Structure 1
Amino acid sequence: MYVEIRGMLNQKYSISTIARKLNISRNTVYKYIRKSPEEMAEWTASTMTRSKKLDIHKELILHWLREFPDLTAAQVQDWLKEKYPEFKVGESTVRSYVRCLREDFQIPKESSTRDYQAVPDPPMGEQIQADFGFKTVKNRFGKPVKLVFIVFVLAHSRYKYVEYQNRPFTTKDVISAHRNAFKEFGGVSKEILYDQDRLIVVSENEGDILLTEEFQQFVNEIKFEVKLCRKADPESKRKVENAVKFIKNNFINNRIFHNIDSWNEQSQKWLKRTGNGKIHNGTKRRPADVFLLEKQHMRQVNSLNHIHKNSITRSVRKDNTILYLSNRYSVPLGTFQKYPEVLYYVTDDNKLVIYVQESGEILATHCISPDKGKLIQNRSHQRDRSKGIKELIEVVSEHFTNKSQATKYLNELRNRYPRYIRDQLSLIKKCIELGSLEVIDEALALCMERQLFSANDFQDVVSLFKRQRQVNSTNASDQQIDTDYNDIAELTLTDTEANQRPLEDYYTIMESTK
């Protein structure tokens, strides 16, 4: 090896090229080129006579290698640790020793190969294969974005459907993608082949497959057979595996990510143009052409009839909007609580239609805005802030004798204090509760006459009239006291008699205190 390295250096090969061609590390190359021919000769001679740490187990290792030619150096190290727990040896030492033994005793490493058998395509409408894929792309700022996608492939025609997300899939997302795929395929196949993904499968359970609760409900609704790949056997779903690889290499690679909506739109166009429009290497036919025949064999699902074929799932935000192409589009108030997720699609006349997946109820229709960062909102989706104010004005005005005048006054308050009208009405209502009908009527008349359009002014006027009435009442009481005193003075002691409370009143008081 030393001679080979020196020869390649003389031919102006780089260190990296030498390491790659000789299948060694660059550090090993550097170690060799630092030695002169004399030093290398001495070192080689010393290695011929020097004992190695693993020589004490040489025969055992040779026995293992001859019995199990595909044994790895890592397994050799583990077996040595298992047999001799106190024996310490490095991984690189074992790897180098095993390599030397294979070379010296002509024990090539055998790798077990799998024998493949060609399997005929299933009948039309028999099987759909589904699988997930992951790929990191870059956005327009050069930052990485991890995309997750789910692919559905009709096993006979190789017709494909794919959906992307820039967040991990949930079981609800998976179910929604299934519905969209069935809508695209024109129905559902007899069976669907899956990998053992945790969003779908809990356990294979020796053939009695246990599905997640949500997905089991979906299977019961649509009624199709679930078939799983065996563990460590991805070849059984080779068609969808090839589709995932094809999508990564042909569509995703070197494509710039802007947003998930435009990405899904580009994907749909790519499927039509290339994914399903290009001649398949295996079948030598265009999947789109074969699909026209296979579509007739798909079983129709009535609950999918209301789902548009290009629908995409969207989460409803707390402010009752959904995001589409960097804009917010409104849905009716209460949608967030009632329908956390909705579907949408774009019509030919560039309108965004948002609807409920289960029932097909259309929640909103918007004209798509060419701008970015805008809120597109229907008036019917806004909270009717006037609702309740009219009723409140009606209720408050009922307490006045002149209801029409009161309504006029309260509406003027609403015009002057639109933001604080509830506070204004609340204060007037408080005045009504604490004052008499005569007082509030007089206060209303004075406020209208003097144009005192404020609840605080109304409160001050009510307080003024109440004080005046108290003063008048006090003066009247003083006059009555003087009159009574004069009358009493004219009476003799014998003419006076104290008022007596009926005896029954005392019995009532005593009973109530027990």
Structure 2
Amino acid sequence: MEKWQVYMKIKQLKEQGFKIRRIARKLGISRNTVYKYLKKSPEEMAAWAASTKTRTKKLDAYEMVIHTWLSEHPDASSAQIHDWLLEDYPKFKVGASTVRSYVKELREKYAIPKETHQRAYQAIPDPPMGKQAQVDFGKTNQRTPQGKYIKLYFISFVLSHSRYKYVEWLDRPFTTKDVIRMHEHAFAYFGGMPDELVFDQDALLMVSENAGDLILTEAFQAYREARKLKVHFCRKADPESKGRIENVVGYVKGNFAKHRIFQSIDVWNENCKSWLERTGNRKVHNTTKKRPVEVFALEKQHLKPVIKEFTISNVNSSITRTVRKDNTIVYQSNRYSVPLGTYQKDKNVYIEITADNRLIIRNQSDGPIIANHLITFERGKLIQDRQHTRDRNKGITAYIATVSSYFTDEETAMSFLEEIHSRYPRYIRDQLGIVLKVSKAAAQADRDEALGECVKRGIYSATEYSDVLAFIQRQQQQGESKHVDEEIKALHDIDSSLLDTQPETRELARYLDVLKGATV
């Protein structure tokens, strides 16, 4: 829509009493744009609109380049065009939204519609009565009377032939136990069971597709066997294969839940059942041109009877999750930590969601709790228990305590090693390793004396401690006094006595005797 047309629409809606927010929503523009247009008189708006058509645009210099790309690749997106410009022109500094608008204008100017590769669909006849039901999950954000928002979750069922529906809600994420219970409610609502149930690959129901040999969760597998259900799981990223239930999910969100105020979960479910009876199952279906409730009256006779009640008290309500290498699991697009060392290849843990929105994690379905987190409703977050993080100082402290135990005066040794730690924090393990290695090979008295000399002379290095200890051991081997009388210098110091050292001299006659008989 041209700027002048938008301006006139805004003026008309404003005169009709529409608020700024409504005008913006109705025209698909921002409120700032509405305010800006309302401040302009018709003359100012006409002049401004005309100037926008004649003024030079930032991307005009790249018009032919972009036109070439669009001609060669009609399916290229504006984001790709933006990236190619950044790649070919390092000094290019234009925002993505500007590129998007410019690409749109060029497509219209040069008649280059964006190509899309759509999947070819084929109409499939409705399955026989009682043959199939499709199942899927959904969630919405609903406003409360206090003006806050709460996230609600629902499961929906639809009989594929009659389009007869059932929906049930929770104010927390589902567990497998919840799903089983709601299957029972749906069968009771339908008055029987279909021959086949069609699902998405949901973690509540299936662990792995396993190349066709489906591996279901323990609880749902037990339920499937008890009810003798025939189940079919759609392939990943293929919602079209269960289009009937996808339409139901959208219908529930757009017709029942949209703009509805949430009071309590019980009232919400009661209102949803009333909606099903009043609208969801009574309104003429757009495809079949029949009322689902009327077709269901015939299909109900073809459903398998539910003979005995299924007890779910002994069904495990846990959901499995795979432990990642960083000792976290993923739930609702967030990462939750587990204790270090939990990870093993193909390791699964069991999670359970409590009524107060806490995530319980266990190694076994009925085992002790290894993690307990408060569930966040944001996305991409890392929720980490401090007890699950590595205490990097704890290992060093224990190492220092181990090395100091090789000395008689452990307190002095501890202080000596702590000083080395402060000077060589990045290499402390290497430093401690050297001290431990040479101390183990030395006598108790020798390592104690070496420690004392290092502390006395302010030497805080594992390699220099090793040199001091080696010097003491050499003195012992030479039978000299065990106590060090001469000053011991660190490696980085210069011994001034070396500067006074004179070479040994001999008489010339000795060299002549050696050279007797030699020829030149």
Q: TM-score, structure 2 length as denominator?
A: 0.48
> For the pair shown, which has the larger CA radius of gyration, 1 or 2?
1
Q: TM-score, structure 1 length as denominator?
A: 0.48
